[in-house]
Structure 1
Amino acid sequence: MTAIYKREMRSYLTSPVGYVFLAVFFAISGYYFFATSLVSNTTDMSYVFSNLFSIVIFLVPMLTMRLFSEERKQKTEQALFTAPVGFPSIVMGKFLASLSMYTLGMGITLAYFLVMCLFQVPDLVVFCGNFLGLFLLGAALCAIGTYISSLTENQVIAAVGSLAIGMLLLFINSFTPVISSTLVMEIMDGLSFYQHYLDFTRGLLNLSDLTFFVSITALFLFLTVRHLERRRVS
């Protein structure tokens, strides 16, 4: 797993993908920090994180679209299948590399927190809740993107597919007003990223929300492993 992780990290840092992701993330987060915190003269960074919640849905596919699709396109997939490493290790190595790049982008919010501390210390509990929520959201999106990337050799299709699923899980509870079935409404609310992210923005650590994001992450990583195993057999 370590070798796969190092190879993927090297790929991010020696190609434009990683730097473009970080540049866009820093630029957008910096804009929202300036517009919602500095201009408004407030230490409440919840608005920064709430805006980033929607933005990362679009940015994470940039990190995950090439993880497995490029292997298939470059005909190096068979090397992975015959490597003396299990599929769980391969998947985890690639997943952790994308999550590391995502966390590196998130790290800019720590700099914003330190800037705010020069004027007045923000609510640490609320900041940590927002940071944890955004991290868990990113982990789930990276897992989804990893799975979609394993399904196709076309990076554009992988990116669009990851974006589509991310947006579906983001906006799924917005359709509940037109649903008459109470059971279906509860299921849609239960699958909503936004619904489970909300408590984190208030600094509340709800075990069900934590379990939801961890479960989504584990589910899609498991599906990726199973798909690769089926491809090797076939």
Structure 2
Amino acid sequence: MSGERQRARHVAIIMDGNGRWAKRRHLPRAVGHQRGVEAVRKLVRSLSDTGVECLTLYAFSSENWKRPEAEVDDLMNLMRKFIKSDLPEFIANEVRLQIIGDWRSLAPDIVASLDDALARTAQGTRTLAVALNYGALSEITQAARLAAEQGAVTEAAIAANLYTADLPPLDLLIRTSGEVRLSNFLLWQAAYAEMIFTDVLWPDFTPAHLQDALDEYADRERRFGGR
């Protein structure tokens, strides 16, 4: 061990466990998703107290369309409310919103709201990247196709065409709820990221849990395939 503590600049979170949180309390799944949004809000507010420059959240995967229509509708309505209610706070706290994924295929009103939010937060000093209608395999396939159109297909060319090309390299990936898999999230970016899997369900995940993860990360030694 080098003894030198390192700082995570880019942290990504697979926010899992809203449904189980609600089920354990005999509540509708929609309530679990609502509490999950509250957890996001608290975490974003805490970013200024950390060294994190970019927080990427897995909000809605390309596979989530397979869920019951009513649940998908609840998630989309929550998204609409979140954008409207939290945009002023993002601006005030210099949080730059970025959306990754095939988000332009969402409902036109959501796309319009996101376009407005992206423009109005463009000068932020910290980034909140939200993965919407996102799938890593599709992202890599698209990036490789674009790289081929531009010339040679190299690692650098693929990386330059990923949704995250302008973000810092991914340092730490966290998944809540006890599941231990990546679920088609940031597969390329996570190649050498550190990972932490916690049993905490997403609605119960607090800024203190994030700080614990950052402290654990700080004490790890990253070798990137070396010794």
Compute the TM-score of the two structures, normalised by the length of structure 2. Answer: 0.32
Pair member with larger Rg: 1
Q: Which structure carries more relative contact order (alpha carbon 8 Å, separation 6+)?
A: 2
Whose strand proportion is higher, 1 or 2?
2
